[in-house]
Amino acid sequence: MNNNVFGRRGWPKILPALGLAPALLFYIGFHVYPSIMTAVYSLTQYDGIIGTPLHFVGLLNYRDAFHGGFYQIGPAIRTTIIFALAVTFVQNAAGLALATAFNGKWRGITFYRAMIFLPWILSVVVTGLIWSLMFAPIGGPMESIWQSLFGHQSAFFGSYRMALPLVIFVQIWQNTGFTMMVYLAGLQSIPQELFEAAELDGASRWRRFRHVTVPMLASSTTVNVLLAVIGSLGAYDIIYVLTNGSFGTMTLGMYMFNTAFEGSSQLGYASMIQMLQFGMVLIVTLILQRYLRRREVQL
Amino acid sequence: MARIRTTMLGVGVFALLGAVAMPVASAHSRPANAPKITLTVAEWTNPPAIQATKLLDQEFQRLHPNVHIQLIYAPTTGGAWGSMQRAQMAAHSVDVMAQFSISGNWPRPYMTGLQPSLLEQWINAGQITNMTNMPFVKKDFPAGEQMRLMGYKGKIWGVTLASYGRGGVFYNQSIFQRLHLAVPRTFSQLIHVCQVLKAHHITPFMVGAKDGWDQMITEGAIEQEIPHAQAANFVKGLWTGRTTFANDPVFRKILTRYKMLSQYFEPNAFGEPYAPTPGLFAGGKAAMLVDGSWDGYTIHQANPKLHFSWFPLPMTNTVAKNNMQVAGDFSWVVPSWAPAKKMALQYVQFAAQPNHYHQWEDIVGAIPTEPQTHLNALPWMSTELKFLPHKQFEFSIPHPQQLGPQGYVLGDTAYLKPQGPYTIPQLLSVATQQWLGAINK
């Protein structure tokens, strides 16, 4: 059966294909081709200089990464996992708490929601600058607060104890507004009758939240968790602005960026790191998606 | 009728002569009729160097009215300069480009797996013009100096116009005078200076340690500790595993001295990025600023009334060893495919001519690479000039590729207690493990 509404013969027949072509070409040119070439480059020692040979080395980059180079890539994987776990848990908890708190109809609520959402629309550079100034160890507002609270000074983004937690905090600060909005949309789509019925049955506030709100937010949770995991496993931009990967904040994304674009370009090795990162995101996402979907059905 | 014909003929001859003569005349008076050329010149953001280059550009354009120079620049911070030079080279759209000197920092045969620097990669790809046999390189610069600074594979690939002192400090001369402190010539004297400053509640050192600027202390120290004639052997020892951070006492000595000095940094130095430190020093926040000598102009702009100068940090107790360490810096290179290559080479030659170079140098305030150029001693260069007769060009220690985060001990200052997790022996051991892992992979 031919469903082509433009016609079955002549040029109208190819009209749908023509309409799709620009987007398809764009997708192939800017998504499929770079992805394939990243996989190809990961098997080379390509330096990115046009006109130079790719210099295929097979799996040498992968071997190096888990041999001599493991001193570098091992801590980066560890930092990435810590970063992703902390961001995903805290961001979702904070997003859900805020969504619950701002799911009312009181005066000025839209303004407060907008304020919480605001960091999400700021560029990473602006966010980085704001927090670098806030935590400037000489004259920054947090310096005096920190000293009055804890009685000692801190180098903040230049401290091994503080840098990673602070970078995680900034990442959460920037993205919680979006998480809250997704939860808010989920909350507002829950039929009020369910809450009323639970209330009539004598369910407490906590039980209503636990047994009505949480199950009904399952699909919002799936979306939020997956977005947070994928975003944080690939994060490098905010880290680049805040610490440039120093002081224990070198994630895989940051390590890949530095290898590709700092000093002598090692695009081949950087592509290999990118492939590892891709593998990590793929495995984690597949497992999570399977778990979250099953949970949605159960709930 | 014959008269009219004769007149017409005369007018015709005049017109013909005029038509022939006109282009000749205009070629002398208006050479702008020559084909228009846009010369794209790229350099990183360094205010005095940009000011000096703009002046040079004006003079070059006056001499070549058909040339329009487009000067483009980007800061080295945040990777902007790196991105710009890569983009310009990939697009084949730059004619003259500034580069840092090569300074002998290329992979030796025993440096297995070490990738050359970006400039060396461009040279290997045939994208940079060989300047070895250009007459001005031989005429305007001392024999061998450009080979040392811009030499690679036995050829010269550009000309270095500026070098700077590294491993030193700017110091506030007014504070030193008030406390009767002399410029220290030994490490013990340096510690004494710090103690006196601290006793007077003055922060001795401002240092942008968040960006690793404190490593200038350890790197300057190794340059003073290792006789430069033995540097190649020393580096080879590290690369072959014969010398390690743990087995050569020089590293422990340097880290111990660094740790002593780090007590005199401003509080939370490891949270302080480099960018604001010249301004903070200019504002009187500390008596010394750990920095290279290139930042004099920035400090002067921040506080024109400040009396300051620069001296190399003495990291040993032997005066003769505590020489000023100099690194080649600003160099011009011309891509081999430059759209206006002929004019680009003329531009570089023009810049190297002693009179133009002298003018450029007077603004930039660098250590000149042309012997006939005498420093016009910018106000903040008074102390630095005293150290110049004993300057040494730095040797470099290339790092293996994919080195662990603690793999290069002289760059690991942030990992030392109290700011980091390691004691000196622990750090030496970890760094050795990671270095050996990287060279033996």
Instruction: Provide the domain limits for residue A169.
Output: 68-298
Which CATH number covers residue B181? 3.40.190.10
B65 lies in the same domain as B159: yes
Nearest CA in chain A to B83: A261
pLDDT band for position B28 (50/70/90)? very low
Q: What's residue B13's pLDDT?
A: 46
Number of CB pairs < 8 Å for A and B?
Answer: 126
Mean pLDDT value across chain B:
89
- Going by C-alpha positions, the residue among A239, A248, A251, A252 that lies closest to residue A174 is A239
Q: Of A69-78, A238-247, B405-414, B415-424, give the lowest mean pLDDT range.
A: A69-78
Q: What's residue A1's pLDDT?
A: 52
**Minimal Cβ distance to B118: which of A136, A157, A265:** A265
- What is the average per-residue pLDDT within A155-175? 94
Q: Which residues of A touch B122 (CB under 8 A)?
A: 49
Q: Is residue B365's pLDDT more than 80?
A: yes
Q: How many residues appear in chain A?
A: 299
Please indicate if any CB of chain A lies within 8 Å of the CB of B12.
no
Which CATH number covers residue A255? 1.10.3720.10
Q: What's residue B236's pLDDT?
A: 96
Q: Do B433 and A71 touch (CB under 8 A)?
A: yes
Q: Is residue B19 part of a domain?
A: no
Q: Which residues of B touch A261 (CB under 8 A)?
A: 79, 82-83, 86
pLDDT more than 90, % of chain A: 66
**Minimal Cβ distance to A250: which of B83, B118, B405:** B405
B303 lies in the same domain as B176: yes
pLDDT band for position B33 (50/70/90)? low
Q: Is residue B426 part of a domain?
A: no
Q: Is residue B6's pLDDT more than 80?
A: no
First to last CA, chain B: 101
Q: Do A47 and B421 touch (CB under 8 A)?
A: no
As for the ipTM of the complex, it is 0.77
Q: What's residue B26's pLDDT?
A: 40
B309 lies in the same domain as B170: yes
Whether B328 contacts B160, CB under 8 Å: yes
Number of compact structural domains in chain B? 2
Q: Is residue B315's pLDDT more than 50?
A: yes
Instruction: Provide the domain limits for residue B300.
Output: 165-326+392-396
Nearest CA in chain A to B407: A71
* Predicted confidence (pLDDT) per residue in A16-44, tens digit: 888 899 999 999 999 999 999 999 999 99
Q: Do A158 and B266 touch (CB under 8 A)?
A: no
Cβ contacts of B225 within 8 Å, gap of 6 or more: B250, B253, B254, B315, B316, B321
Q: What's residue B27's pLDDT?
A: 39
B338 lies in the same domain as B367: yes
Q: How many CB atoms lie within 10 A of CB A115?
A: 10
**Which residue bears the tokens 């907008």?**
A114
B375 lies in the same domain as B270: no
**Minimal Cβ distance to A247: which of B115, B125, B414:** B414
Q: What's residue B374's pLDDT?
A: 67
- What is the average per-residue pLDDT within B210-224? 95
Q: What's residue B376's pLDDT?
A: 65
* Long-range Cβ pairs for the range A35-42 (8 Å, 24+): A38/A271, A38/A274, A38/A275, A38/A278, A39/A271, A39/A275, A40/A271, A41/A267, A41/A268, A41/A271, A42/A268, A42/A271, A42/A272, A42/A274, A42/A275
Q: Do B268 and A156 touch (CB under 8 A)?
A: yes
B271 lies in the same domain as B378: no
**Minimal Cβ distance to B118: which of A137, A247, A264:** A264
B175 lies in the same domain as B320: yes
Q: What is the DSSP string of B315-343?
A: -SS-GGG-PPEEEE-EEEE-BTT-TTHHH
Q: Is residue A217 part of a domain?
A: yes
Please indicate if any CB of chain B lies within 8 Å of the CB of A215.
no
Q: What's residue A54's pLDDT?
A: 84
Q: Do B89 and A71 touch (CB under 8 A)?
A: no
Q: Is residue A3 part of a domain?
A: no
B157 lies in the same domain as B177: no
Q: Is residue A94 part of a domain?
A: yes
Q: Is residue B130 part of a domain?
A: yes
B297 lies in the same domain as B340: no
Q: Which of the listed residues B384, B405, B430 is the one where a domain comes to its end? A: B384
Number of compact structural domains in chain A? 1
Between residues 58 and 117 of chain B, which touch chain A (CB distance below 8 Å)?
A: 79, 82-83, 86, 89-90, 113, 115-117
